[in-house]
């Protein structure tokens, strides 16, 4: 195993030990809002066309409501505006990007990133290093069809791991060349990983919805040089 994976595994072991101590303390103090990163077990893979795949795991993070509340309060969220054809428009969500080596806003995110790096070490061959956060305030917030194809992912296979906290929203995927779409609901500490050729051969979005939905935060873990 590569050194970065061994170091991440050591950190995960330390977190697991601290988690057991924390669980004992939590049971004594009745701390119902503890945030815990669970082992990556029960990950279900859905093979897609063109060498792409999606992994899904429910409940990667326990205490997801507490994690949502901390991120909503502590992250310095930014509203952005972007060029859209001949106009400058508001991006319909709030954003914050944490680059390689930048401290993350909650230790659970460090633990989740390390656990993902260890779990996918053999397939990915490199660690997850960055975290992009999106805040979807209600059903009017969304992200349009796209693939994460800035950087190496334009030509190389990669993985994007998404941790969701807050109200569930559908992540929808469809082949770039046309075809049927699939919906993957994500929320309450769930994990979705897009891998293989997914960023190059498929597009994904979080569509607007007229249904009454609560706010959601997604955390996208990526490798170096991929956006």
Q: What is the DSSP string of 57-84?
A: ES-SEESHHHHHHHHHHHS--B--EEEE
CATH topology of domain 3-222: Jelly Rolls (2.60.120)
Low-confidence ranges of the chain (pLDDT < 70): 1, 13-33, 83-86
pLDDT confidence of residue 14: 54
In this predicted structure, what is the pLDDT of residue 12?
72
pLDDT at 89: 79
pLDDT the model gives residue 11: 78
- Is-contact 226 154, C-beta < 8 A? no
**Angle at the Cα of 75 (from 89 to 111), degrees rounded to 5?**
125
- For the stretch 104-163, pLDDT in tens is 999 999 999 999 999 999 999 999 999 999 999 999 999 999 999 999 999 999 999 999
What pLDDT is recorded for position 24?
Answer: 36
CA distance 6 to 217: 30
pTM for the predicted model, two decimal places: 0.87
Taking CA 158 as the corner, what is the angle to CA 135 and CA 8, rounded to the nearest 5 degrees?
A: 80
Would you give the end-to-end CA distance of the chain in angstroms?
26
10 contacts 17 by C-beta, under 8 angstroms? no
| Domain definitions of the chain by residue range | 3-222
What is the pLDDT, as a whole number, of residue 33? 65
pLDDT at 6: 72
Cα(204)–Cα(97) distance, integer angstroms? 19
Beta-strand runs (E) in the chain: 36-37, 44-47, 52-57, 61-62, 81-84, 87-90, 94-98, 130-136, 143-146, 160-166, 169-175, 182-186, 190-196, 202-206, 216-222
């Amino acid at each position: 195993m590569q050194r970065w994976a061994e170091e991440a595994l050591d950190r995960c072991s330390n977190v697991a030990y601290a988690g057991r101590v924390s669980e004992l303390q939590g049971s004594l103090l009745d701390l119902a809002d503890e945030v815990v990163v669970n082992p990556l077990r029960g990950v279900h893979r859905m093979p897609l066309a063109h060498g792409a795949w999606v992994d899904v795991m429910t409940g990667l993070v326990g205490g997801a409501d507490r994690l949502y509340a901390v991120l909503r309060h502590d992250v310095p969220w930014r509203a952005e505006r972007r060029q859209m054809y001949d106009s400058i428009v508001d991006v319909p969500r709030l954003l914050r990007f944490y680059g390689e080596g930048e401290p993350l806003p909650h230790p659970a995110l460090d633990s989740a990133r390390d656990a993902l790096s260890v779990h996918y070490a053999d397939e990915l061959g490199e660690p997850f290093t960055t975290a992009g956060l999106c805040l979807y305030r209600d059903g009017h917030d969304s992200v349009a069809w796209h693939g994460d194809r800035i950087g190496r992912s334009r030509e190389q296979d990669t993985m994007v791991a998404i941790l969701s906290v807050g109200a569930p929203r559908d992540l929808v995927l469809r082949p770039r060349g046309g075809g049927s779409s699939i919906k993957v609901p994500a929320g309450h500490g769930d994990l979705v990983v897009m891998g293989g050729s997914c960023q190059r051969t498929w597009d994904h979005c979080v569509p607007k919805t007229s249904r009454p939905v609560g706010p959601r935060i997604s955390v996208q873990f990526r490798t170096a040089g991929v956006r």
